[in-house]
Amino acid sequence: MLGSFAVLRKQSLLGDAISHAALPGIAIAFLITGAKDSNVLLLGALVSGLIGTFWIRGIISKTHLKSDTALGLILSLFFGFGMLLLTFIQKQPNANQAGLDKYLFGQAATLIESDVWMMAIVTGICLFVLLLFWKEFKILLFDADYTKTLGFNTKFIDILITTFIVLAIVLGLQTVGVVLMSAMLLAPAAAARQWTNSLSVMVFLAAIFGAFSGVFGTAISATQNNLSTGPVIVIVASVFVLFSFVFSPSRGLLFKQIRFIKNRRDLQLHKTLAFMYNIVESHENISHPHAIKILNNFQGYTKGTLQKLVSKNYVTLEGSMWSLTEEGFKTASNLYSQQNDNNE
Partner 1 sequence: MSSAQIEIQLIASLVAIACAIPGTFLVLRKMAMISDAISHSILPGIVIGFFMTQDLNSPVLILLAALTGILTVVLVEYIQKTGLVKEDTAIGLVFPALFSIGVIMIAKNANDVHLDVDAVLLGELAFAPFDRLIISGVDIGPKSLWIIGSILVITVGLLFVFFKELKVSTFDAGLAASLGFSPAIIHYGLMTVSSVTTVGAFDAVGAILVVALMIAPAATAYLLTNELKRMLIYAICFGVFSAIAGYWVAHWLDASIAGSITTMLGFIFLIVYLFAPSRGIIAVLYREKQQRTEVSLLTFLLHLKNHTEERERHVNHLNEHINWQKVRSKTVLDLALKNNMIQLDKNIVSLTEKGDEFTSKAIDYIITNEDAQIEDMKDDFFLFRG
Q: Looking at residues 108 to 147 of the shown chain, list those that interact with partner 1 (rule: CB under 8 A).
A: none
Stretch of 10-18, 146-154, 285-293, 332-340 lying at the interface with partner 1 (CB under 8 A): 10-18
Looking at beta carbons only, is 29 or 181 nearer to partner 1? 181
Interacting residue with partner 1 among 34, 35, 54, 76 (CB under 8 A):
76
The reply to whether 69 sits near partner 1 by the rule CB under 8 A is: yes
The reply to whether 60 sits near partner 1 by the rule CB under 8 A is: no
Query: Residue 22 in contact with residue 173, Cβ under 8 Å?
Result: yes
Query: Residue 212 in contact with residue 46, Cβ under 8 Å?
Result: no
Interacting residue with partner 1 among 35, 125, 150, 253 (CB under 8 A):
253
The reply to whether 167 sits near partner 1 by the rule CB under 8 A is: no
The reply to whether 97 sits near partner 1 by the rule CB under 8 A is: no
3-state secondary structure of 105: helix
CB proximity list for 211: less than 8 A, separation 6 or greater: none
Distance linking the first and last C-alpha atoms of the chain = 47
Provide the H-helix boundaries in the chain: 3-8, 14-33, 38-62, 67-90, 102-105, 113-132, 134-142, 144-149, 154-176, 178-195, 199-223, 229-247, 253-281, 303-311, 326-343
Interacting residue with partner 1 among 38, 51, 102, 105 (CB under 8 A):
105
Residue 150: what residue type? L
# chain residues binding partner 1, by CB under 8 A: 63
Query: Residue 150 in contact with residue 142, Cβ under 8 Å?
Result: no
The reply to whether 82 sits near partner 1 by the rule CB under 8 A is: yes
For residues 161 and 138, what is the distance between their CA atoms, to the nearest angstrom?
11
Interacting residue with partner 1 among 107, 154, 228, 333 (CB under 8 A):
228
Reported as type and span, the H/E element at residue 290 is strand 290-291
Looking at beta carbons only, is 101 or 158 nearer to partner 1? 101
The contact set with partner 1 (CB under 8 A) reads 7, 10-13, 15-16, 20, 58-59, 62-66, 68-73, 75-88, 91, 101, 104-105, 179-180, 182-183, 185-187, 190, 193-194, 224, 226-228, 230-232, 234-235, 238, 241, 245, 251, 253
